[in-house]
Amino acid sequence: MTLCAQCHERFVDPRQLQCGHSFCYICIKTKLISTELSIQCAKCDVQHIFRTRDELERSLVVDSFINEMVQYYLRRKANPKVVKSSENNHHQVIPLHTTSQKKQIAFAQPPCKICSKKSNYLFICDHCNEEICDKCMDKHRAEVTERINKKWLKCKQQFAINNELLSKAEKNITSVVNELKMIRITVEQRATDLINMIENERDNILERLDDHITPVKKNFKNDDIKQEYQSINENIAHILSIESSIQNLVNHLQRIDRFLDNLENKKDHIKTQEITIAYLSPPDFDSPAKLLGDLKFQVPSKLITTPLSTKNKYNERLSPKVQNTTSISNYQNLSSSTKPSIKKELDGFYNPKELASPIPPLRINWRLTPSQLQPNLKTDVQRLVQSTKRNSPITTNNGLHLPIVVKRPFSQMFTLVPNDMCVWSLKTSDIPHFLCLLDNNNRSYNIFICDEYGARVQIYSIQLPIDKYLPVYIRELELFKRNCRLTLESFTVYQTYIITYVRRFEQKANEEQKAPLIKAGIQILDRGENGRCSDIGGMIYVFGHNGTQVDGSYQSYPIRKLIADTSYDCLWGINSINNSLYYYSLPKTPEQITSYLKNMKIYLDFNETNDENEKFEPNHMAENQQTIGLVDRDSHTIRLYDKNTKELINTYKNTQQSWNISDMIILKDNNLLMTLTENKRNKQVIRKDSRYRQHSARKLIEISKNGKELREIEANTLNAMTIGPNDEIFLGFADKGERGLVQVYI
């Protein structure tokens, strides 16, 4: 009993394992520890596994019972037996060094966790992993039991709440499923009714067409007269011969008189008959019964135009094709009286209910000189305006305000359109400051229209091809509270999230809006004399496509613009402090947002050159599939780089020193379309239009890839632009008051 089962010698510092077997502490340390955190018992082969080294050490409790047995045995062996005084030879003298060979070591026994007293019998609680003595074990068990009862009671309460919620959810799901079934049945029934209605209307129109053509053919039928004429013509030679009798001549004369009377009657009948021509009006989508249009009949003298006519005035371009182009210098020198203007003429828009025939898209050839463009343009546009009517925004039954979408421009916002044709126009409730297109796997595109503060983001679906379909309203988002009045520096969209960058805050920001900013570490300051916050850092906010804020990351440096590039799976940005173009990886999940937005990777560093002539400080950028363009802050020089090789492709110098490049897009062929804004330091060029709020003059310039200026377009109210999949130009304008307008050109 006093021998170790491992070394088969007397116990030295016996320790008890959790299985109840005891071994020398040295044997456990040297022979029984199979791995760093496990002990295998030599008697029962039970494997004891521990989480930490400290837990292993604390589990090796001193076996006080065996320790006392060993000490008792050694004391009995060391004391000589009490015998009568006599000489004997049975006593054996033991040297001192042999008795101390296995010296008993006093190890520190840990105290009880509850009473803080040392005890020979300690237990390690599996629940709290603490040493408890045998006297305090019952008290500790009661505490653990009470804790278990409290937690179990909480579990029962939560379980009951969950069951109640699940029961309500199941009822709601059942109700929703039943409602969806009813809606499905209703939709199918309505679709069937509409199909039947359209088929009936089709049969009715076709029947009316047949009923119309039958009397027309009957009224102008001439077969009986032709037969009579041929009969007389065949017999006239025989009647007039010498062999004919007087009676035959008289009979034939009477027959000719009757034929003459018939001809006179037929002539009078033809003159009195009025020929009506059928035409089909444009479809009325507000009335299901008139989806095919309303069939009407009109005489030619009263018919203005017909869709069957090959010379429809609306099928002709507003101006003939002329090969000569207008130079930029000649255009700038023209007086305001000779410059073409279509602002006032196109103040209305196309209303399909009021035109007898549809109007094709408005087309203007921008290669005409102003003098050649003006006469045809003004005359035809005035005719167009006479056939149009001004409409107001649409309001649904639930009070939702929907902008107007038409297949014609409301009014042109510049003197020359950038491309041949304006496809459609879209009126918005706020001035569009950001336009972004989102590719839906090449099937369609979503356009995001955002105002200056992020208080209203309108989303529309655009089917391809863009020139054949009008945009369809999807939803409206509110990223930030309108009363916060913060200003967005950048707005970009990709398949997973909406990313915005906010740097300047106005004084009206309320506590609710300030709280997440302060938590993120942004110093919130009141507006100073210049109306701007002095903090150079800003906040990147990440939103879902439903407008829910997902996460955010504070940036200690100003970011001029952010562009989500899905082809390279990165988020481009410009650091104006370090003069560098960098990128983040695009986050796909909420867990990736913070880590990705803190891992900035430098793509182009413009501080590496010491040459003043090569100094370049980017503050704006644009990109297409293979190219990224940067604009210098001071000289407004544009550099185009290849995304793959970082090679400099081309450089463009802005020669108009009084104009700054405020925005640009890169076409597929690397042509540039830039927005130029008059420099605010030239106070004499600041303009104020009575229709719009005060602004600096703006214009569009297109530059070819070899640096040649192709065209210059006045666009004073332009605020935003973006490019479509096939180089369609999306332009956002400020309209009257605080309203906006989006136009698309192809």
Condensed to tens digits (0 to 9), the pLDDT of residues 366-388 reads 333 333 333 343 343 343 334 33
Which stretch of 13-27, 204-218, 521-535, 568-582 has the lowest confidence by average pLDDT? 521-535
Q: Distance (Å, rounded) from C-alpha 650 to C-alpha 627?
A: 10
Which of the four pLDDT bands, split at 50, 70 and 90, describes residue 294?
Answer: low
Residue ranges making up the domain that contains 652:
399-745
Domain end position, chosen among 135, 151, 173: 135
Which stretch of 92-96, 410-414, 503-507 has the lowest confidence by average pLDDT? 410-414
Mean per-residue pLDDT, 128-141: 82
3-state secondary structure of 520: helix
Residue 404 falls inside a structural domain: yes
Which of the four pLDDT bands, split at 50, 70 and 90, describes residue 557?
Answer: confident
Tokens of 294: 């309303």
Identify the pLDDT of residue 636: 83
Identify the pLDDT of residue 410: 42
Residue 474 falls inside a structural domain: yes
Which of the four pLDDT bands, split at 50, 70 and 90, describes residue 152?
Answer: very high
% of the chain exceeding 90 in pLDDT: 11
Domain end position, chosen among 94, 118, 135: 135
Mean per-residue pLDDT, 713-721: 86
Mean per-residue pLDDT, 15-36: 82
Identify the pLDDT of residue 492: 94
CATH number of domain containing 541: 2.120.10.30
Which stretch of 244-253, 273-282, 413-422, 691-700 has the lowest confidence by average pLDDT? 413-422
pLDDT tens per residue, range 479-493: 887 766 577 889 999
Residue given tokens 């035959």 in the structure block: 248
CATH number of domain containing 16: 3.30.40.10
Identify the pLDDT of residue 34: 65
Residue 317 falls inside a structural domain: no
Task: Fill in the amino acid letter for 216.
Answer: V
For residue 470, the number of C-alpha atoms closer than 13 Å in the C-beta half-sphere is 14
Q: Is the pLDDT of residue 404 over 80?
A: no
Mean per-residue pLDDT, 666-670: 88
pLDDT tens per residue, range 587-631: 999 999 988 988 889 999 888 766 656 788 888 899 988 899 999
pTM (predicted TM-score): 0.47
Identify the pLDDT of residue 159: 93
Residue 218 falls inside a structural domain: no
Using the 8-state DSSP alphabet, how is residue 10 labeled?
Answer: B
Identify the pLDDT of residue 491: 93
Tokens of 505: 């805050």
End-to-end Cα separation, the chain, in angstroms: 100
Which of the four pLDDT bands, split at 50, 70 and 90, describes residue 693?
Answer: low
What's the distance, CA 333 to chain centroid? 43
**Which of 488 and 448 is assigned the larger pLDDT?**
448
pLDDT tens per residue, range 626-663: 899 999 888 888 999 999 898 998 888 887 778 888 88
Identify the pLDDT of residue 47: 86
How do strand 601-605 and strand 580-585 relate by DSSP bridges?
Answer: antiparallel
Using the 8-state DSSP alphabet, how is residue 363 labeled?
Answer: B
Q: Distance (Å, rounded) from C-alpha 515 to C-alpha 526?
A: 15
Tell me what the pLDDT averaged over the chain comes to.
72
Q: Phi/psi zone of residue 340: left (φ > 0), alpha (ψ -120 to 50 degrees), beta?
A: beta
User: What string of DSSP letters covers 241-267?
Assistant: STTS-HHHHHHHHHHHHHHHHHHHHHH
Which of the four pLDDT bands, split at 50, 70 and 90, describes residue 458?
Answer: very high
Residue 268 falls inside a structural domain: no
ω into 465 cis (within 30 of 0): yes
Q: Is the pLDDT of residue 174 over 70?
A: yes
Residue 361 falls inside a structural domain: no
Residue 241 falls inside a structural domain: no
Identify the pLDDT of residue 67: 83
Number of domains in the chain: 2
Q: Distance (Å, rounded) from C-alpha 136 to C-alpha 381?
A: 100
Give the count of beta carbons closer than 10 Å to the beta carbon of residue 433.
Answer: 19
Residue given tokens 């900013």 in the structure block: 517
Q: Distance (Å, rounded) from C-alpha 554 to C-alpha 575?
A: 14
Q: Give buried/exposed letters for 713-735 (b at 16+ CB in 10 A, else e).
A: bbbbbbbbbbbbeebbbbbbbbb
Residue 687 falls inside a structural domain: yes
pLDDT tens per residue, range 33-72: 766 788 888 888 888 888 888 888 888 888 888 888 888 8
Q: Is the pLDDT of residue 274 over 80?
A: no
Identify the pLDDT of residue 361: 35
Using the 8-state DSSP alphabet, how is residue 278 labeled?
Answer: E
Q: Are 374 and 340 in contact (CB under 8 A)?
A: yes
Burial (CB count <10 Å: 0-12, 13-18, 19+), residue 264: exposed
Q: Is the pLDDT of residue 228 over 70?
A: yes
Residues, the chain, total? 746
